[in-house]
A and B are shown apart, each in its own frame.
Chain A
Amino acid sequence: MKNAHLHFRQPLKTTPFHPRTAAANRLNAWAPWAGYTTALNFGDDSMEYTAIRNQAGLYDLSPMVKYDITGPDAVRFLNRLTLRNVAKLQPGHVHYTAWCDDAGKLIDDGTLFHLMSGRYRLCCQERHLPWLRDSAIGFNVNVSDVSEDIAALSLQGPCAYAVLARAGFDGAKMLKPFQLADYRFGTSGKVMISRTGFTADLGYELWTSPANALDLWDHLMTAGALNGLRPIGTTALNMARIEAGFMIANMDFISATTALRPDRTRSPFDMGLDWMIDFEKGPFNGRAALKRERDTGHTPWAFVGLDIDGNVEAEHALVYDNRKHEVGHITAALWSPTTKRNIALSMLRRPYHAEKSNNLWVEIYAPRELEYHKLMVRAAVVPRQFFNPPRRRATPPGLF
């Protein structure tokens, strides 16, 4: 757009893949994500979900917020910003991490890529440039928002590697989970492929320049035709991520930067991310508060998986102890087609996640033709990873 001050005339941008996703979107179902219009589903949620679990799905990941971090102090800076020890992240590897405010409350989680070129790339759900820049004061680093400079696709499902192999990226065979490598594409193009994803299935994410976006999409769709590759929308991906037990900022917890009510923020201990924290690596945001939380054991919440009786989805439901005493709520729920269980991600007050979890009930308002039937059904606390097949980790990957 010519005049920057007229940006409001186009409230949502389109991604580099938009010509293809728009053509494939038979339902014309769109939703905003990080300032972009993105496909909710293309024709049929169930078929798209089924593709993720049985064939392969291609998801437009471009709106993902991406920051590049370079400079001599990059490791020190990232160690101060995030919870994990970045010194241990080798080039060509990715790790899942999170970062907190001064009070030790989560701002967001995301994946940190140690690129082959030596630079780091942080991918996350929300925008954090001011926080990153202010955190960089005193460090010799450069933090830049590269969200618009990179077109990204997520290729997920048991046939994901088969599609890559047919597309000529058979070098990706040696990639273990959380590894990445660069590959040539076309005459002069380049694609970075990382073995990462949001589905708990075999899967890869492909990162390239916006100029190569449409060629890459066409190339993969052609190569994957015989594997049943199809575009998938956010609805199907979200089903897969609930089965995977992954959390999303501002859906499963409120980011400390957006929370208005003081009791809404969540610490890594609340969210079960305390395994990330390296207290020995030196100062990092929230260290004093998190150390205090660790030492006092004052963690009020636990983010857990629930296995709920019946087959009515428990979206937005409250969780009770002994049918009466409210002890938590459900942040995401699904009747899981693959595991054939009624599953949910839930925020429970401790100790109802463990010692006192034997009498939990979920209050579901089940819609029955414009009337709601109130159901009170039993629930059991289970590990959040509802679906975790060996094919996800197998290296070399299966050629289905």
Chain B
Amino acid sequence: MPSSDAIVIGGGINGLAAAGRLAQAGANVTLLESAPATGGMAALAQLCTGIDARIEKAFALAAHGLDWVEQNVSTTALSASGEHLVLKGPFAETVDGSLSAENHASWAALRTTLLRNAALLAPFRQMPPPRLAREHGMPLWEALRHGLAIRRMGRDNLREFMRLMLINVADVLDDELTDDRLKGVLAFDTVLGHHAGPRSPNSLLGLYHRISGQVAGRQAALALPRGGMAAITTALHKAVAAAGVTIRCNSAATRISADAERVQSVTLASGEVLTTGLVVSALHPASTLLTLVGAPQFDTGVVRRVRNIRSRGTTARLNLTLSEVPDFRGAGHRSRLVIAPSISAVERAFNAVKYGAFSPETVMEILLPHAFAPDPESGAPTLSALVQFAPHDLRMGWAKGKPAYLKAIMDQLERYAPGIGKQVTAVEVMTPHDIAERHGAPGGQWHHAELSVEQMLFLRPAIGLAQYATPLHGLYLASAAMHPGGGVNGSAGWNAAGAALAKAGAS
């Protein structure tokens, strides 16, 4: 008698989504989370770019407490001289500030093209990745149907779509725009969370990934949940628990046991053994396959490919507590503040991580949460930021490097908000190394596997694993490293549960 029909490992958004979908299909599901609470890495992000609509609907997140402070957060491209640009509406629908008429016009045209292309790619982000081998059939038809929609966009648009498909964002922006502030912030958004610079090959795909989501029906909008990003996973936790999932926090899985072919049980750190025939793991595929199951269970080719999944984190999270509200040379506080003065500034910031160093002049996305929703309890203003770029393995070592990195960040902040250094009362920096330690994500990479073209669709996370199933019967992968991967949207977990249910239905 198995302990559960299904065991889900990992209580991030993908693990919760997978557990919920399995439970809704009637399975008796146990979810194991090693931390004291669920949520995983969702709270590392600052703003929501869109939850998978299927998850919002299936789990009625609004009914479980998900509420939005702001569903259309603006972006301010900070200028060190105070000439800020304010980008309002989804994906800078309008731009306030000293922007030339030519830039206004060409941005409007470029924005339309990028949004249209991203929308055409959006359906691929929900369906399981298509399979190329003829005998595998189905999802290929769905892919062809979406492909037909792309074909129907007309010759010129199609040619433009194909031209831009694998291009780098710097070329696109330099072709169309001349304003460094606008180009800088767009380049920053493209590479946020990625191991790529604006001039890295096919970097534009990162932007497509970011702007293909929807918030409240608006493509590419940015939204701030009440209570921060953790509110999304908190609501999902409640919904999933209500669907009957047994959620066990402080319960780290240490081993997945199997016979020659099939999953048998999961062992916890406490020594407790849960027998089951179905395990869905939302941990990184390398953690699941090589650590929990163990490399000896898999063929060498699988082991090689899993070890070669590229998972290099580049983004640090900064939390400051301040004595007073900082002044970013007059920039409005109820906005996402971005320090990315030009494409070259972003590219130079990326250069450093290639050589195991952090960016001396770092680029970042800043949020002043109190400006959106003052915290009546603490009262002290806070500042949070996503800071790029920092490597997982700092050459000088993070023990020595962290103070130096913090100084580089504060120096950069000081240029845009003079006097902020004296206002700081408490500091917390989480480097990719810290993120890896705390969340078990190799490399501290948000998306588990980097989102680059050679790790997308049927290549995500690696050849032979893209369909969420593994060579071990009964073991499925629901990590952000799976297609469509990354972001706080839960699609990978939803699809993984779907793959497990389809298999159970077929047999």
Q: Is A96 an interface residue (CB 8 A)?
A: no
Given contacts A283-B260, A288-B471, contact A137 B307 (CB under 8 A): yes
A1 to chain B, nearest CB (A): 32
Residues of A within 8 A of B304 (CB): 134
Contact of A283 among B290, B297, B307, B464 (CB under 8 A): B297
Whether A134 contacts B299 by the Cβ 8 Å rule is no
Residues of A within 8 A of B298 (CB): 283
Q: Is B302 an interface residue (CB 8 A)?
A: yes
Q: Is B296 an interface residue (CB 8 A)?
A: yes
A80 to B303, CA, bound (A): 13
Given contacts A137-B307, A138-B290, contact A101 B300 (CB under 8 A): yes
A137 to B260, CA, bound (A): 18
A135 to B301, CA, bound (A): 8
A286 to B299, CA, bound (A): 7
Residues of B within 8 A of A102 (CB): 299-302, 464
Closest residue on chain A to residue B473 by CB atoms:
A288
A283 to B299, CA, bound (A): 8
Whether B300 contacts A131 by the Cβ 8 Å rule is yes
Whether B300 contacts A135 by the Cβ 8 Å rule is yes
Contact of A287 among B260, B290, B301 (CB under 8 A): B260
Residues of B within 8 A of A285 (CB): 299-301
Q: Is A241 an interface residue (CB 8 A)?
A: no
Given contacts A101-B301, A102-B302, A137-B307, contact A76 B260 (CB under 8 A): no
A102 to B300, CA, bound (A): 7
A137 to B308, CA, bound (A): 13
A134 to B294, CA, bound (A): 13
Residues of A within 8 A of B260 (CB): 282-283, 287
Closest residue on chain A to residue B293 by CB atoms:
A138
Q: Is A400 an interface residue (CB 8 A)?
A: no
Given contacts A134-B304, A137-B290, A282-B260, contact A101 B295 (CB under 8 A): no
Contact with B along A58-84 (1 / 0, CB 8 A): 000000000000000000110011000
Contact of B296 among A80, A286, A288 (CB under 8 A): A80
Whether A283 contacts B301 by the Cβ 8 Å rule is no
Whether B295 contacts A137 by the Cβ 8 Å rule is yes
Contact with A along B284-325 (1 / 0, CB 8 A): 000000100011111111111001000000000000000000
Contact with B along A125-151 (1 / 0, CB 8 A): 000000100110111000000000000
B180 to chain A, nearest CB (A): 46
Residues of B within 8 A of A76 (CB): 296
Whether A138 contacts B295 by the Cβ 8 Å rule is yes
A80 to B295, CA, bound (A): 10
Classify chain A's interface size.
10 to 19
Whether A139 contacts B301 by the Cβ 8 Å rule is no
Residues of B within 8 A of A282 (CB): 260
A288 to B307, CA, bound (A): 21
Residues of A within 8 A of B303 (CB): 134-135, 137-138
B472 to chain A, nearest CB (A): 9
A76 to B261, CA, bound (A): 17
Residues of B within 8 A of A287 (CB): 260, 299
Residues of A within 8 A of B261 (CB): 288
With contacts defined as CB atoms under 8 Å apart, how many contacts are there between chain A and chain B in the complex?
45
Contact with B along A96-109 (1 / 0, CB 8 A): 00000110000000
Contact with B along A275-295 (1 / 0, CB 8 A): 000000011011110000000
Whether A283 contacts B296 by the Cβ 8 Å rule is yes
What DSSP secondary structure best describes chain B's contact surface? Answer: helix
Q: Which residues, 23 to 78 on A, are CB-close (under 8 Å) to B?
A: 76-77
Contact of B299 among A77, A101, A138 (CB under 8 A): A101
A14 to B303, CA, bound (A): 37
Whether B299 contacts A139 by the Cβ 8 Å rule is no
Whether A139 contacts B296 by the Cβ 8 Å rule is yes
A353 to B307, CA, bound (A): 42
A312 to B206, CA, bound (A): 65
Closest residue on chain A to residue B464 by CB atoms:
A102
Residues of B within 8 A of A137 (CB): 290, 295, 303, 307
A116 to B304, CA, bound (A): 33
A288 to B290, CA, bound (A): 18
Residues of A within 8 A of B464 (CB): 102
Residues of B within 8 A of A288 (CB): 261, 299, 471
A95 to B4, CA, bound (A): 45
A134 to B296, CA, bound (A): 10
A101 to B304, CA, bound (A): 12
* Most interface-central of A102, A131, A139, A288 (chain B CB within 10 A): A102
A262 to B169, CA, bound (A): 37
Given contacts A282-B260, A288-B471, contact A134 B290 (CB under 8 A): no
Closest residue on chain B to residue A138 by CB atoms:
B295
B441 to chain A, nearest CB (A): 20
A287 to B301, CA, bound (A): 13
Residues of A within 8 A of B290 (CB): 137-138
Closest residue on chain B to residue A79 by CB atoms:
B296
Residues of A within 8 A of B294 (CB): 138
Closest residue on chain B to residue A73 by CB atoms:
B296
Closest residue on chain A to residue B294 by CB atoms:
A138
Contact of A138 among B296, B301, B471 (CB under 8 A): B296
A287 to B471, CA, bound (A): 11
Residues of B within 8 A of A286 (CB): 299
Residues of B within 8 A of A139 (CB): 295-296
A81 to B298, CA, bound (A): 11
Closest residue on chain A to residue B307 by CB atoms:
A137
Closest residue on chain A to residue B261 by CB atoms:
A288
Residues of A within 8 A of B297 (CB): 283
A253 to chain B, nearest CB (A): 19
Residues of B within 8 A of A131 (CB): 300
A26 to chain B, nearest CB (A): 46
A137 to B299, CA, bound (A): 11
* Most interface-central of B296, B303, B307 (chain A CB within 10 A): B296
B226 to chain A, nearest CB (A): 46
A302 to chain B, nearest CB (A): 25
* Most interface-central of A81, A135, A282 (chain B CB within 10 A): A135
* Most interface-central of B300, B301, B303 (chain A CB within 10 A): B300
* Most interface-central of B260, B304, B307 (chain A CB within 10 A): B260
Given contacts A282-B260, A283-B260, A287-B260, contact A134 B300 (CB under 8 A): yes
Residues of B within 8 A of A134 (CB): 300, 303-304, 307
Closest residue on chain B to residue A133 by CB atoms:
B300
A81 to B260, CA, bound (A): 15
Residues of A within 8 A of B301 (CB): 101-102, 285
Closest residue on chain B to residue A137 by CB atoms:
B295
B45 to chain A, nearest CB (A): 33
A81 to B307, CA, bound (A): 18
* Most interface-central of B261, B301, B307 (chain A CB within 10 A): B301
A285 to B302, CA, bound (A): 10
* Ranked 3 nearest A-B pairs via Cβ: A138-B295, A102-B301, A102-B299
Given contacts A131-B300, A137-B303, 5 further A-B contacts (CB under 8 A): A101-B299, A134-B307, A137-B295, A283-B298, A285-B300
- 14 example contacts (A-B, Cβ-Cβ < 8 A) are as follows A101-B301, A102-B300, A102-B302, A131-B300, A134-B303, A134-B304, A135-B303, A137-B290, A137-B307, A138-B294, A138-B296, A283-B260, A283-B296, A287-B260
